[in-house]
Amino acid sequence: MPSVIGNASSLTGNTNVLSDLDGAHDTHRRSSAGVAPPDSKDVEGVEVEEYQRFFIKRPKVASEDNDSPDDIVYTTIVSDNCDASDAHTRCVTEALLDIATKRALFSQPNFPRRLVRPIVPAHLIAPAGFKGLGMFATRHLRAGNLILSERPLIIRPAGAPLRQDVPDLSQTQRALFSLSEREMQLQVMLQRMTHECRDAYLALSRSKYHAECGPLLARARTNGWQALTEFNFANSGSCGSYAGVFDELSRMNHSCCPNAVYNWDTQTFSGSLRAVREIMPGEEITVAYCALGELWAVRQTNLQAYGFLCACPACKGGPAADARRMQILIDAYAASKVPTGIALRRAYLSLIRRIEDEGLEALPEYFAALLEMAKYYRCVKDVAKAKAYEGKLNAMSWAMRGEPGAV
Ligand SMILES: [Zn+2]
C-alpha cells in the first residue's frame, strides 16, 4: 500500500489549505474508521443520537503507512483571493475527499484559482411563491452571460457503497448503517465550518422524500450539485461521484424549460451559472434538475426526490407538451442524417425555431443545430450569417461548458 502524505499543505506547500481534522491524522475510509462521533450539542439544531445507534467505532489508523489512496480525509479548502465583503464568494469549503483526489487537486498550480465573477452583480435570492426561495435576475442577461460563480459550502462523495465488513447485519441494517455514517461525516464537517457557513447550510431546505436520512444528509441530498466531475471517488463505480452544496446555487429552482445551466470548474473549485437565453430583470433564474428529453410523467417521477410536482410552463398542461418535445428529439436525429444542402438548412432552421419556442436551449441538440448552421453558411460563403451563428454558438459554448474566461 503506498505511503501517502496526510497533510494537505505538505502535499503542495499551498497555504490555502488549513489542515486535516485538527491536525491529527484522522484520515478515514469510506467506512469512517477512527472518527469519533461528534457531540450533537456542538452543532446547533442537529440531533444525531438516533444515528449513532449503528455507528461502530473502529481502530484509528496508526500511521501514514497504512493510508491508501482510497482513504477519505476531511479537508478545509481556503482561497486567499476572494473578497471577504462579497457574500457571493465563499472562500472556505469543507471537503471530504479520497486522498488520490486531494493529491490531484493540490498538485495543480495556484489551486484554487481566482473566481471569475460577473462584473456587475446579476442575481438576488428572494421568495418564489410556493417554491420557497429562488434566484432572480437583477439585470438583463443574454445567452452565455455569467450569472454567478460560487465556491461550495461542502463537497463530499455523493454516494457510498454498502459496508460488507460489519458482521451480523441485514441488508436493511447495512443501508441504515451507511446513512448513519454519512450523517456522522456531515456532523464533523459542520463542526469544522465557520458559523456563517454552518448557518447557511442549516438554512437550506430538505425534501420529505429523504425522511430516512438524518437532517444533514437530507439537506445534502436535496441541495447537491455535481462537483469534481473529472474525479471518481475511490473507484466506487456509480457511487463514485462528488456533490457540492452551495449557499446560493443550491437555491436555484427547477424548470423543464430552464433559462440557465450549472457547471462545475475544478481549477477555481467553484460552481457557476450561465444564461442559455435572454433573461429579463426580475425573471426567475431556473435550471434543470432532471433530463429534459424525457416525457412529462418520467420527469415528474425523477423530480420526486426533490419533493415537488413541477408546474413549469412545460408541465402546466401535463403531458400535452410531450409530443412537441419528443418530435424535436426525433427531428434532431433525422436532421443529423440529412446530407449538406438546402434540405439540411431547412431542417435545422425549423429545429432551432421549435427548440427556442419550447425553451429547450439547454438541450445539447440546440448546440449541435447551431453548429451545423454555422458550418452550412461557412460552406456556402455567406459570411454574415455564418458569423451570426458562430456568435450564438460561442455564447452557448460558454453556457454549456462553463468556460471561465467569458463574463
Ligand atoms: Zn416542468
Going from the Cα of 270 to the center of ligand 1, the distance in angstroms, rounded, reads 27
Of 126 and 208, more confident? 126
Q: How confident is the model at residue 10 (pLDDT cuts 50, 70, 90)?
A: very low
Model confidence pLDDT, tens digit, residues 322-363: 999 999 999 999 999 988 788 999 999 999 999 999 999 999
Going from the Cα of 315 to the center of ligand 1, the distance in angstroms, rounded, reads 4
Going from the Cα of 107 to the center of ligand 1, the distance in angstroms, rounded, reads 42
* Residue 303 grid coordinates: 423530480
Going from the Cα of 257 to the center of ligand 1, the distance in angstroms, rounded, reads 7
Going from the Cα of 221 to the center of ligand 1, the distance in angstroms, rounded, reads 20
- Residue 162 is predicted with a pLDDT of 64
Q: How far is CA 28 from CA 21, 159, 185, in A?
A: 10, 16, 10
**In the block, residue with C-alpha cell 429545429:** 351
Of 357 and 117, more confident? 357
242, 226 contact by CB (below 8 A) = yes
Going from the Cα of 322 to the center of ligand 1, the distance in angstroms, rounded, reads 11
Going from the Cα of 290 to the center of ligand 1, the distance in angstroms, rounded, reads 9
Whether 64 shows a pLDDT value over 80: the answer reads no
Going from the Cα of 330 to the center of ligand 1, the distance in angstroms, rounded, reads 20
Whether 30 shows a pLDDT value over 60: the answer reads no
In this prediction, residues 293-309 reach a mean pLDDT of 92
Model confidence pLDDT, tens digit, residues 199-241: 999 999 988 888 888 999 999 999 999 998 887 765 554 456 8
Going from the Cα of 312 to the center of ligand 1, the distance in angstroms, rounded, reads 4
Pairing of β 242-245 and β 154-157: antiparallel
Going from the Cα of 361 to the center of ligand 1, the distance in angstroms, rounded, reads 15
Going from the Cα of 310 to the center of ligand 1, the distance in angstroms, rounded, reads 4
> Which H, E and C letters describe the chain, residue by residue?
CCCCCCCHHHHHCCCCECCCHHHCCCCECCCCCCCCCCCHHHCCCCCCHHHHHHCCCCCCCCCHHHCCCCCEEEEEEECCCCCCCCCCCCCEEEEEEEHHHHHHHHCCCCCCCCCCCCCCCCEEEEECHHHCEEEEECCCECCCCEEEEECCCEEEECCCCCCCCCCCCCHHHHHHHHHHHHHHHHHHHHHHCCHHHHHHHHCCCCCHHHCCCCHHHHHHHHHEEEECCCCCHHHCHHHCCEEEECCCHHHCEECCCCCEEEEEECCCCEEEEEECCCECCCCEEEECCCCCCCCHHHHHHHHHHHCCCCCCCCCCCHHHHHHHHHHHHHHHHHHCCCCCCHHHHHHHHHHHHHHHHHCCCCCHHHHHHHHHHHHHHHHCCCHHHHHHHHHHHHHHHHHHHCCCCCC
Going from the Cα of 230 to the center of ligand 1, the distance in angstroms, rounded, reads 29
* Residue 335 grid coordinates: 436532421
152, 244 contact by CB (below 8 A) = yes
Going from the Cα of 278 to the center of ligand 1, the distance in angstroms, rounded, reads 19
- Residue 1 is predicted with a pLDDT of 29
Going from the Cα of 71 to the center of ligand 1, the distance in angstroms, rounded, reads 40
In this prediction, residues 6-31 reach a mean pLDDT of 25
- Residue 192 is predicted with a pLDDT of 93
- Residue 172 is predicted with a pLDDT of 83
Please, what is the average pLDDT of the chain? Answer: 79
Whether 406 shows a pLDDT value over 70: the answer reads no
pTM of the model: 0.80
Going from the Cα of 256 to the center of ligand 1, the distance in angstroms, rounded, reads 4
Of 161 and 193, more confident? 193
- Residue 357 is predicted with a pLDDT of 97
Going from the Cα of 305 to the center of ligand 1, the distance in angstroms, rounded, reads 14
Going from the Cα of 27 to the center of ligand 1, the distance in angstroms, rounded, reads 42
How far out from the chain centre does Cα 350 lie?
33
Whether 36 shows a pLDDT value over 60: the answer reads no
β-partners of residue 260 are 275
Burial of 293 (0-12, 13-18, 19+ CB in 10 A): middle
In this prediction, residues 132-147 reach a mean pLDDT of 96
- Residue 190 is predicted with a pLDDT of 96
- Residue 301 is predicted with a pLDDT of 95
